[in-house]
Amino acid sequence: MRRKLNLGFFAIIILLWAICIYAMLSSIGVRDVFTDLENDIVPGAIEMSEMKYAATDIRMWTLTYIVRGNVIRNEKTIKEWLQEAWTTIENDAKEHREHEKHIGKLEKEATEKINDLSQKVVSVSAEIIEMKDKGAGDEELYEKVRKDFAPVFYPLRNILNEHTAAHLKELSATENNIQNKHNIQLRYIIILGLVTTLLAVFVGLLVDRLFVNFITERECAEKALRVSEEKYRMVVENQGEGIGIMDLEERFVFCNPAGEKIFGVEPAQLLNRNLEEFISPENYKFIKQQTKKCLAGQKSIYEIEIIQPSGEKRQLLITATTQKDSDEQVIGTFGIFRDITERKRAEEERERLIQELQEALDKIKTLKGFIPICSHCKKIRDDKGFWQNVEVYVRDHSEAEFSHGICPDCMKKLYPEYYREGDEGADPTES
């Protein structure tokens, strides 16, 4: 009996070591994948994203400079914002070109093209700013944008989008690779675990016949529960987003530190306080409507404005679901809330700038296309079918104005008494 017991323990130890070794080897493989992510794929995706946003910022600030001049935006002048965007795109293009993983011929060519287009975008933007500073008109500046800036900006943006998509594809492939490794690892661990379990059961039966079973299922369950509770507590307390649980009366029964910071209160000062203290009456009615949706079993995602005790207003994005007890009875709502105040402000500023640019562009009148003109009287037919004099049509469809005089030929024909020989090159209207 003792010999069987020893053999059983020895077999279990060998299997456990086999599981540990296999898990270690699998972890090394996964670590290599993450190393590749850290050193190549993720930095490349970040560089592409930063360059794309920098190029967009250069276009936005250049057009803003044309319309508004060197005004201050978010505590910086437009030139300072442009200089920051120029530096960002040049540095990112240089780092991407010098990246050691870019060894393929096609990728090298694309990288050189990105670097070349980035330099051209910066150069043309700087030329437009210099022209603006020297007093160039809006039409000349917008023509510069159309002829020189757009042909380099849009190809650069397309290449950056393609590179970003390629990096995302690499991320997806890496994710599948990790998932496959995980599945294979899990499969073998389960097999080894089952064999180990069968041996453990066999040894347990032997032990039960020789010794008193001093470990109960209750003790094992309590230990596992304590470990699980500790893990969840660490996750919740260190979560960057606010997590809260409300009862049916909209009172806080739990809130993590991030949530207390968002609501602007000291630690543990949010418990048992009603949400109504932090929002307007109209928003409180809206919250009650969303709570009804949650209690009906629907997931609710919405934005709401809160007012901190200090008086500062914050915009929150809230995701709420039903909170149930162990008997599946609804006891409140569980919510995750994120502070999106700065994002909303940035979106409002961007929309305002776009509107200003659009209004400026709408004020520019141009003449283009075919113009129907009478071959005899030289009148022009407008879009409504009416015939107008040339000067009236041009005045209504452009910024040009006409001044009237008389040419030498007409002077000789209509007013011969005032015409003098040798005046062909002079202005007949001058006395």
pLDDT exceeds cutoff 70 at 423: no
pLDDT exceeds cutoff 60 at 102: no
Q: What is the mean pLDDT of the chain?
A: 75
In terms of pLDDT, which residue wins out, 67 or 104? Answer: 67
As given in the structure block, the two tokens for residue 396 are 């209504």
pLDDT exceeds cutoff 50 at 103: no
pLDDT tens for residues 144-175? 888 888 888 888 788 778 877 777 777 777 77
pLDDT exceeds cutoff 70 at 300: yes
Average pLDDT score over residue span 291-314: 84
pLDDT at 98: 65
Q: Please name each of the domains of the chain with its CATH number.
A: 2-210 (1.20.120.1730), 240-347 (3.30.450.20)
pLDDT at 6: 65
pLDDT at 212: 46
pLDDT exceeds cutoff 50 at 213: no
pLDDT at 297: 77
pLDDT exceeds cutoff 50 at 42: yes
pLDDT tens for residues 317-332? 888 888 888 788 888 8
**pLDDT classification of 112: cutoffs 50, 70, 90:** confident
In terms of pLDDT, which residue wins out, 199 or 310? Answer: 310
Average pLDDT score over residue span 284-309: 84
Q: Which stretch of 85-89, 98-102, 121-125 has the lowest confidence by average pLDDT?
A: 98-102
pLDDT tens for residues 46-84? 777 777 777 888 788 788 878 878 777 777 787 787 788
pLDDT exceeds cutoff 60 at 291: yes
pLDDT at 100: 46
